[in-house]
Structure 1
Amino acid sequence: MQSIFYDRANDVDHAIELARQPGAKFIGGGTNLLDLYKSGIEKPLRLVDVSRLPLAAIEETADGGLRIGAMATNTAAANHPLVRRRYRLLSEALLNGASTQLRNMATVGGNLLQRTRCHYFTDPAFEHCNKRDPGSGCDAIDGHNRIHAILGASPDCIATHPSDMAVALAALDAVVHLRGPDGARQVPLLDFHRLPEDRPQDDTVIRPGELVTAVELPPSRWGEHAHYLKVRDRASYAFALVSVAAALELDGDTVRDARIVLGGVAHKPWRAYAAEDVLRGQALHSDVLARAAAAAVQGARPCRDNAFKVELARRAVVRAIRNAANPPQTAAPTGANVIPIVPAASNPGDQA
């Protein structure tokens, strides 16, 4: 049995110093890391507990934006008055993630760093996974790939990123704050996660020993007309087959600006720039929505079992935009903006 050491960090600098130890991993809520550790996917030699660091504050910034500490729980972020009032897109996305119990434990920083839920990655019984064992191959490509990527994949990996929160943050132009051995830096959320290319084992651009300290949101232009739509197999506790974060800036019936970001379709939140271009300067007529939806999935390369995701994504984009243009008066509770669908077949090793 492999020994594992546990250290509790006193402050951020102490945490970074402890992380210099070989095999060290930060642990906050532990909702992802501990699962992977128990199944033998993650093999840390030392756990650096950052859960008691003073990084849980949610505060307005001087310019009217919002800074969310990395240790803020998903529940605290979703229910914060400023988030619900100014960043409804984020609140909706968080409330559609996991379960209440998990949201009470999971942190904002940990949510960004969660690993993919590809069953060929999370189950060591499957031998070939480039993300788990670089150079071994990808069993998902010729396997059961119903849940996998249709955009941005590579011959080395077709997994998708599981976070709902990250999709909303990408639409809101969020910035990730990091501290590490080389000091502090900021990375736009859209650049934080990376496509697999030939290094699928690297999910993000985070450097060894770096700690996520906060996520910062600029002043919101999308507080009034925004919607997060999640399409999944069950009405709760399931990852997205396709999700859409849609945010609109309207001038009467005309779209002045838009943000369209898809989840469940790529290795990272997928911003649909071409769809946004279609919408700008247009009224939201059916033909405009159809063209925007088609643009959102241009270049899609589905696998044998997930070709349905292309049409599903088109329809989800249309519905999300319509809902953003005419949102309810308050942020929707969990499940109110979820479309469950009946799975075509049971997935080997599928996990919620």
Structure 2
Amino acid sequence: MIEFSYARAEDTPAAIRLSSAAAHPKYLGGGTNLVDLMRETVEQPDALVDVTGLSSAIEARDDGSLLIGAAAKNTAVAADRAVRTRFPMLSRALLAGASGQIRNMATVGGNILQRTRCSYFYDDASRCNKRAPGAGCDAIDGFNRYHAILGASPACVATHPSDMCVALAALDAIVHLEGLNGQRTMKLVDFHRLPGGRPDVETELETHELITAIELPALRFAARSTYRKVRDRASYAFALVSVAAALDLDADGKVRDVRLAMGGVAHKPWRAWKAESALRGQQATPGNFRAAAEAELAEASGLRDNMFKIELARRVIEAVLSELAGEFA
């Protein structure tokens, strides 16, 4: 049995103080991922600092931006009127994730920090560099249908499981952080790390640092956005490939601007910078959408069981962008 202390933080300074008093602490939000990991002894904290009492406010600002407290529940964010009207891709991504019961418990901060669902990571009889650095990676030659096609390394081919984070990556979200060294902000696209040789180091969080809020900058054309998730079953399954997209066309049907991110394909939410660049200034046609997808996936590399993901990703990108372009007709 894992022995640990438990304390509920009244505010952010108290949370940081309680965390810094322990050797191996963890912040506890909804617990929908952390508790599972503790059951499997993947995580073995000596202290849990409950941060569910911190800010859960959703502030819609006059300039079109949004500030979401890290303790906000996924259900509340998905249902919020400002989220649904200004950033519908985020609402749809949240509703595509997990079950209603889990969304009622899961917090925004915890969603960002959830760890991979790779079965080898959860199985302590398997070699996993993320769980035990230097052990090896059984997924590379094992069953790897759900694993990465972009940004992987010889040390790890796991994927990030979040739907919400794919939308946040597309929306240029900013993570607000507070720790022993004070407050700072960071773009979400820079917050998660690719595996390299240290897949156990998953984010840029400093020791005892806490996510306090997520900021969505104003983006006028994000009101015309969507999220599509392709998975093996319709309920409670992680993405094989998902796409978050927003599209802005001019009067001549050319792409004025675009935001595009993918999930289920990499160790982190994957912002499709190359596809975006290839699309700007081009006619909004299926052929150009597919060419942009091919540019993004030019360096994709499949494993034995997931080669299909490369073509699947191309098709989903093309389909989602075509759907959004159709709304302009």
* Residue equivalent to 2:209: 210
* Residue equivalent to 2:200: 201
* Residue equivalent to 2:239: 240
* Residue equivalent to 2:135: 136
8 Å CA contact 1:227, 1:321 repeated in 2: no
Moved over 4 A (4+): none
Q: Quick check: 1:271 aligned with 2:271?
A: yes
One-letter identity of the residue aligned with 1:271: R
* Residue equivalent to 2:309: 309
Provide the C-alpha distance between the structure 2 equivalents of 1:48 and 1:101, rounded to a whole number of angstroms.
22
Shift in Å at residue 298 of structure 1? Answer: 1.4
Mapping for residues 128-277 of structure 1, pairs under 5 Å: 128-252=127-251, 253-277=253-277
* Residue equivalent to 1:73: 73
Post-superposition Cα deviations, 1:175-220, rounded to whole Å, max 9, x if no partner, equal 0000001000001010011100011001111111011000000112
Provide the C-alpha distance between the structure 1 equivalents of 2:46 and 2:270, rounded to a whole number of angstroms.
34
* Residue equivalent to 1:42: 43
* Residue equivalent to 2:292: 292
One-letter identity of the residue aligned with 1:117: R
Post-superposition Cα deviations, 1:18-58, rounded to whole Å, max 9, x if no partner, equal 111111110010000000000111001111011112x1000
Provide the C-alpha distance between the structure 1 equivalents of 2:249 and 2:28, rounded to a whole number of angstroms.
42
* Residue equivalent to 1:51: 52
* Residue equivalent to 1:335: none
Task: Name the CA shift for 1:327/1:100 in 2 (closer, same or farther; >3 Å).
Answer: farther
DSSP-derived class of the 1:19 partner = helix
* Worse-superposed segment, 246-255 or 72-81: 246-255
* Residue equivalent to 1:28: 29
8 Å CA contact 1:226, 1:323 repeated in 2: no
Provide the C-alpha distance between the structure 2 equivalents of 1:310 and 1:291, rounded to a whole number of angstroms.
13
Post-superposition Cα deviations, 1:326-345, rounded to whole Å, max 9, x if no partner, equal 359xxxxxxxxxxxxxxxxx
The TM-score normalised by the length of structure 1 is: 0.90
8 Å CA contact 2:26, 2:45 repeated in 1: yes
DSSP-derived class of the 2:143 partner = coil
Task: Name the CA shift for 1:123/1:80 in 2 (closer, same or farther; >3 Å).
Answer: same
Structure 2: runs of 5 or more not aligned: none
Shift in Å at residue 62 of structure 1? Answer: 5.4
* Worse-superposed segment, 249-258 or 179-188: 249-258
Structure 1: runs of 5 or more not aligned: 329-352
Shift in Å at residue 289 of structure 1? Answer: 1.7
Provide the C-alpha distance between the structure 2 equivalents of 1:157 and 1:97, rounded to a whole number of angstroms.
24
Shift in Å at residue 284 of structure 1? Answer: 1.6
Shift in Å at residue 224 of structure 1? Answer: 3.2
DSSP-derived class of the 2:215 partner = strand
Task: Name the CA shift for 1:130/1:327 in 2 (closer, same or farther; >3 Å).
Answer: farther
Shift in Å at residue 320 of structure 1? Answer: 1.1
DSSP-derived class of the 2:190 partner = helix
Provide the C-alpha distance between the structure 2 equivalents of 1:327 and 1:153, rounded to a whole number of angstroms.
35
The TM-score normalised by the length of structure 2 is: 0.97
DSSP-derived class of the 2:256 partner = strand
One-letter identity of the residue aligned with 1:35: D
Shift in Å at residue 225 of structure 1? Answer: 2.2
Provide the C-alpha distance between the structure 1 equivalents of 2:62 and 2:184, rounded to a whole number of angstroms.
19
